[in-house]
Structure 1
């Protein structure tokens, strides 16, 4: 990863109009923000710019508006929560371009913060329309991207703007990129990847990229069943993509060629029904009854995974090892997460995690805070793990 421009290179911002692309696509319930993690992550950038006397103008999307403005997808309620968390007022403009935005920005004093309305109320944002990017740029002197989670899309507010104004990475973006560099860019070896989740079909590119970059790959969750079946092991009624046996075999061949060890379950927790309190037992992976489902990795598998965590200098984690939402099928995920957290705390491991259910799984295990870095970026984190270019990051390279 080439070096990228950060706030440390920005110079004097006093009185400058600084457009900051942030991720405020937060979960809402009954019109209120139900999880403010993404707001929390952007506070350092906003506070730093405000204290340096910049006029801080926030650009963000929210939801997926279909045909222009939609009152249910307004960012107005998010402005109030952001203000409360910053402990300073956050103004709001009912549009992100045009007269409405301009008059609000013209009234700003140095250090003020304003949030502009949902950029996706304009089709030009997702289309990366050059005219829309110019309309956004007209309200700023400097552009800062602090939304890694939207960096895998070449939109006007993430990529287009960076060609029109001096562009830099915000503190959240910087932390994410530095963590990713430690994870797969220039990691300390050996590198272990843990990839779980339900389906191989959604993670083919990811697995193909990882086997060439890591020393060992743990495959868990429903995905593991597809690999076991491809190997000729009966998985009973478990979730399994039998039609992807050929793909699973190809990934195993690629891994062998690259010298990457693949770790599959040697035992599993099985049940006849998938519900809380269902009767379950541990069996060797070769002895899964035809009428049973594998819903978690067993204790011997956990032991093997933890032994690999002990050997690793770097861990990259995406996806749970079992059906962690329902006890007792959360044991493998919780045990491995806690072990990785302990190794990280001890200074023996760099641990980077993210994507999909991963954050929920690590929070459930009470381990997220001890990981080196947990990304909330979802799709962007996965595309980075797949080795794909991220347009919103590439434009910030120095």
Structure 2
């Protein structure tokens, strides 16, 4: 896939760049508690500043539903953002109109301004052409650096890109290149790991992956549904028993596509989900009526590690067990650390994403050792599902 980046942009000196960023950060008592998304935007901001452009940042925060909600203002981000870029950041109390124009007109080349929450306007989520034109009137070019919002066809993610020369920012570029290496044009063999609670929330994902991967390992609660569909007595375990036919359809689709499906061959069970609960390993024909399957067993993990050793590319979404509650984190941690070792050694391209996945990799202490970890959530999942993302489509060269 080819898309326009800042490498393709003409001379930026003296021009105003409207940069869509994702600043929907966790806040507590008016303070940023995790500045990951702010830091992700710094390389693009700095590149534009170094080129002499004026930088106008467009972002949303929370869900004000087209109304001005004071506690959802972006203004509290100013101090953290200024600290990260090492320069003062101006703030405009609106993202369109005279207020925004006045702030931008007062910027020197290399100056940065944060415009107020675009979702304060109903036209943002409706992708209203008039609102997009109001945004476009503020700048000379558009840069999308918010892959996490690229699955939304909103005015600041899609409409605006049709009105100005549009480019991917540095964070967006890294995300797209990593995902292309994982699914678009991967080195084969390709292994997928998909975990999580429910098959029903990842139907499109599973259907797309079995058609594109060489092997697919399924873990977490959704693996229980597949085991149940195979006639395994899963005791009192979490499962979508009404999805058994769907699970069998996916298994058949994998068989037809030549994708080897790796389901658990042993499991870790307990009578209740609580820290340091008494847990035991069970073969699939030894699960008691009151057992809860809460993690993958050691032989299942060993088989998954062997599959990683045989693969050139890994794409991972979702934990293998209830990793938040030790000891049911063991399978996820062991598998993640093995993937990270292979990635560090240059033997595996390991790309992971999704909220629980990021938390699990951080828990295992290996997020920085993977080839790429996406924090994009919904956009990452839709990409894995094979869906076109509106905010990416408009950047195609």
Shift of 1:356: 2.4
Q: What is residue 19 of structure 1 aligned with on the other side?
A: 18
TM-score for the superposition, normalised by structure 1: 0.99
2:306 and 2:39 mapped to 1: Cα distance?
A: 35
Moved over 3 A (4+): none
Shift of 1:131: 0.2
* Structure 1 SS opposite 2:192: strand
Shift of 1:79: 2.1
Which structure 2 residues correspond to residues 188-267 of structure 1 after superposition, within 5 A? 188-267=187-266
Show CA shifts across 1:275-325 (max 9, x none).
Answer: 112111111122111001000001111100000010010000000000000
Which structure 2 residues correspond to residues 297-316 of structure 1 after superposition, within 5 A? 297-316=296-315
Pair 1:317-2:326 in alignment: no
2:40 and 2:233 mapped to 1: Cα distance?
A: 45
2:143 and 2:271 mapped to 1: Cα distance?
A: 52
2:311 and 2:235 mapped to 1: Cα distance?
A: 33
1:12 and 1:309 mapped to 2: Cα distance?
A: 45
Q: What is residue 41 of structure 1 aligned with on the other side?
A: 40
1:152 and 1:205 mapped to 2: Cα distance?
A: 15
Which structure 2 residues correspond to residues 1-398 of structure 1 after superposition, within 5 A? 1=1, 3-398=2-397
Instruction: Point out where structure 1 has 5 or more consecutive residues left out of the alignment.
Output: none
* Structure 2 SS opposite 1:276: coil
Q: How many residues align?
A: 397
Shift of 1:66: 2.8
- The question of whether the paired residues in 1 share the 8 Å contact of 2:66 and 2:119 is answered with no
Shift of 1:80: 1.8
* Structure 1 SS opposite 2:285: helix
TM-align CA RMSD: 0.7
Show CA shifts across 1:170-211 (max 9, x none).
Answer: 000000000011000000000000000111110000000000
Show CA shifts across 1:251-288 (max 9, x none).
Answer: 00000000000001111110001111211111112211
- The question of whether the paired residues in 1 share the 8 Å contact of 2:199 and 2:225 is answered with yes
Show CA shifts across 1:328-367 (max 9, x none).
Answer: 0000000000000000011000011001201000000011
* Structure 1 SS opposite 2:293: strand
Instruction: Point out where structure 2 has 5 or more consecutive residues left out of the alignment.
Output: none
Quick check: 106-115 or 65-74, which moved more? Answer: 65-74
2:75 and 2:210 mapped to 1: Cα distance?
A: 45
- The question of whether the paired residues in 1 share the 8 Å contact of 2:66 and 2:123 is answered with no
1:69 and 1:342 mapped to 2: Cα distance?
A: 48
1:43 and 1:109 mapped to 2: Cα distance?
A: 18
* Structure 2 SS opposite 1:287: coil
- The question of whether the paired residues in 1 share the 8 Å contact of 2:266 and 2:282 is answered with yes
- The question of whether the paired residues in 1 share the 8 Å contact of 2:208 and 2:386 is answered with yes
Quick check: 31-40 or 178-187, which moved more? Answer: 31-40
1:298 and 1:99 mapped to 2: Cα distance?
A: 62
* Structure 2 SS opposite 1:100: helix
* Structure 2 SS opposite 1:286: coil
Quick check: 16-25 or 280-289, which moved more? Answer: 280-289
